[in-house]
Amino acid sequence: EAGDRRKAQSAARADYEQGHLTRLITADTVSALRSQRGYKSAANASKLRSPLHPHPHPAPRSPLRLTSLQHHARSMATSKVEKTEDEWRAILSPEQFRIIRQKGTEMAGSGEYDKHYDEGVYDCAGCGTPLYKSATKFKSGCGWPAFFDAIPGAVTRHVDKSWGMERIEIVCTACGGHLGHVFKGEKFPTPTDERHCVNSVSLKFNPQEGAGKFEPPPRTGFFSRLFGSL
């Protein structure tokens, strides 16, 4: 009987020690796992904050950058081109001088670029500053090249009260050369509802693939659908 009691006590002690050891192993394992997870989290955080990943979250997108053409136009516009009248006469043809420097106007339908729709950029004939892209040129039927917008910063507007009426004159920002006038609210199917009426003599075209062409939206009116193909 005494031997059986000792065996029972030994078994109970073994069960207790095994349970205690199991609890210790479990606690140590959990602690180790937690520590390892913490290390990995810290490591991941440090990676996210490394020079390659300076922020744990993606940085907000920056605004769209201006194209190199727009940068060039703005840099040309900020660096003013100033010449004497004699210097302008020396580099311009008589017709160019009359229109660009003396604010003249070419005859309707006579200009080289009136019905010109190749892809490229239209520069100022006086100083070479990029003014308009072919993607903004549209058919207006007015007899002069028509654009619905200029390259940002390339063109400046002034009030023109000549000939007993008030109009908006447009000039090259860089050299002040006369380009023409801008008219608004004529209901052309363009994004701006503006028509930059520009003298061909004031422009110099440079071919450029990928500059684009303007495609007006399809006509949706009843009579346009009925007679549009005539």
> Does residue 172 have an active-site annotation?
no
| The one-letter amino acid at 195 | R
Burial (CB count within 10 angstroms: exposed 0-12, middle 13-18, buried 19+), residue 134: buried
Q: Is 217 helix (H, G, I), strand (E, B) or coil?
A: coil
DSSP code at position 50: S
Describe the strand order of the beta sheet including 137-138 as a list of residue ranges.
137-138, 146-147, 194-198, 178-184, 167-172, 155-160
Burial (CB count within 10 angstroms: exposed 0-12, middle 13-18, buried 19+), residue 142: middle
How far apart (Å, rounded) are the C-alpha atoms in residues 40 and 37?
Answer: 5
**Cα angle vertex 106, ends 101, 110, to 5°?**
145
How far apart (Å, rounded) are the C-alpha atoms in residues 185 and 189?
Answer: 11
Q: Would you report the helix, strand and coil content of the chain in percent, each value rounded to 5?
A: 40, 20, 45
What is the signed CA dihedral for 158, 159, 163, 165, rounded to 10 degrees? 150
Active site residues: 197
